[in-house]
Structure 1
Amino acid sequence: MNIDIIFRIAGVGVIITLVNQILTKNGRDDIATLVTLVGVIIVLLTVIEIISGFFETLKTTFGIY
């Protein structure tokens, strides 16, 4: 597993947290919620990509079609 993926997920988390805090302090809770939701979706897509690669490796290794 590549360490870059962990740093990418952590970076998205930090950026989303900062933007969320700024928006919350300015009274834009609705936008802050949407930003958090977008961050979660980005991380989930990254994790799905990793899991997909894992299953492709399993299929290749064991010859499963």
Structure 2
Amino acid sequence: MNIDLIFKIASIGILLSILQILLDKAGKEEFAFITTLVGVVIVFGAVIGLISKLFDNIKTLFQLY
């Protein structure tokens, strides 16, 4: 597994938490929620790509066509 992906996910989480705090303090709770939701979707997109590669590797390993 590529360690860079873990660092990318961690950095997105840190940036989102800082944005969440800043927007909450500014009274923009709706924008804070939307930015958190967008960040979760971005991370899920990266993870879904990895899960797809995993299933392809399993299919190749067991010769399932």
1:20 matched residue in structure 2 = 20
Q: What pairs with 1:1-65 in structure 2 (closer than 5 Å)? A: 1-65=1-65
2:7 alignment partner AA: F
Runs of 4+ more than 4 Å apart: none
How far off its partner does 1:34 sit? 0.3
Q: Deviations over 1:37-57 (max 9, x none)?
A: 001111111111111110011
- 1:13-39: CA deviations, max 9, x gaps? 011111111111100000000000001
Q: Which runs of 5+ in 1 are unaligned?
A: none
CA drift at 1:61: 1.2
TM-score (norm 1): 0.94
SS at match of 1:48: helix
Alignment-mate amino acid for residue 40 of structure 2: V
Q: How many residues matched?
A: 65
- Cα displacement (A) at 1:62: 1.2
RMSD: 0.7
